[in-house]
Amino acid sequence: MLAIVAPGQGAQVPGFLSAWLELPGMAERFAEWSDVVGLDLVRYGTTADAEEIRDTAVAQPLLVSAGIAAAIALFGDLESAAASADVVAGHSVGEFTAAAVAGALTPRDALLLVAERGRGMAEASAVTPTGMTAVLGGDRDEVLAAIKAAGLTPANDNGSGQIVAAGTLEQLEALAAAPPARARLRPLAVAGAFHTHHMAPAVKRVEALAATLTPADPRTRLLSNRDGAVVTSGSEYLSRLVSQISSPVRWDACTATLADLGVTALMELPPAGTLTNLAKRALRGVELLAIKSPEDLDRARTLVADHAGATSTDLEGQA
């Protein structure tokens, strides 16, 4: 059973798109998508520096376009991707990539919506200086208690001993001054307290655009960050995409669902590495592949041939 996953914001690094643009048709595809999102995705994915692509309004459409493009490069088209993937999931903004791969949203609609999400979250982040810090290790209960004591929100529960705290910079400083025992703190390269109440204005903005879209029911199992559930309704998934902007990401729950489904291989779309690293601890025995460049496509095709095959299972009753 094959899982395809897509990373969230913070995974982007300068120049990560360069090698992908050398593939046939990719430059033209990104030129078209740049018009859709109102950004020069080619420049941001090749020559822009780390600070430029840290901008939420830039990072989110850049990440989603890269993931969709890699899926097309691997499978030929997204219909084939959905037919080969037994389950698809994305972390935070990666859910938009997952929605396109699973067929719940067209690439154009996914990019339109995520561009609006990025702009809305960037504007919300500008209201109050906020950020996010990963808490690595420590006792789970003690970590959650320390986060609460600092007035922060556990915005991402990633499993594998990693919980991301989010809130104002002052609250993050309070956590740094009184960290949980046996835990390490790592500030994330994001520009706001995502998946918290600070993002409420962005929810309303994205909700208005989402109401104009017509989603389709996913062609394969599609997991939700809300609770790790398999969502079989396109309209429900779209609603969850919108509400997730100000709600915590439960990647631990998604990982538990992958384990319960009996996933035997997991491949992460670019810019890959974050989710496969988490899976090393949480999904032991599962074959993992981080697709970082086109050089990884041959190995990815082998992985698909060896592990895909449960997509034909009746998906009814799994929502």
* DSSP characters over 88-152: EEESTTHHHHHHHHHTSS-HHHHHHHHHHHHHHHHHHHHHS-EEEEEEEES-HHHHHHHHHHTT-
Tens digit of pLDDT for each residue in 38-81?
999 999 999 999 999 999 999 999 999 999 999 999 999 999 99
From the candidate CATH numbers 3.90.1150.10, 3.30.70.250, 3.40.50.300, 3.20.20.70, the one assigned to the domain spanning 127-188: 3.30.70.250
Percent of all residues in the chain with a pLDDT value above 90, rounded to a whole number: 94
Q: What per-residue confidence (pLDDT) applies to 317?
A: 36
Tens digit of pLDDT for each residue in 173-198?
999 999 999 999 999 877 899 999 99
Domain boundaries of the chain, sorted by first residue = 2-125+197-307, 127-188
- Indicate whether 118 pLDDT > 90: yes
> What is the rounded distance in angstroms from the CA atom of residue 241 to the CA atom of residue 218?
14
Q: What is the mean pLDDT of residues 209-222?
A: 98
User: What is the dotted CATH code of the domain comprising 2-125+197-307?
Assistant: 3.40.366.10
* Other CB atoms within 10 Å distance of the CB of residue 200: 11
Token readout for 176 is 């740094």
The pTM for the full model equals 0.94
> What is the rounded distance in angstroms from the CA atom of residue 199 to the CA atom of residue 5?
24
Q: Could you give the residue numbers annotated as active site?
A: 92, 195
- How confident is the prediction for the chain on average, in pLDDT? 95
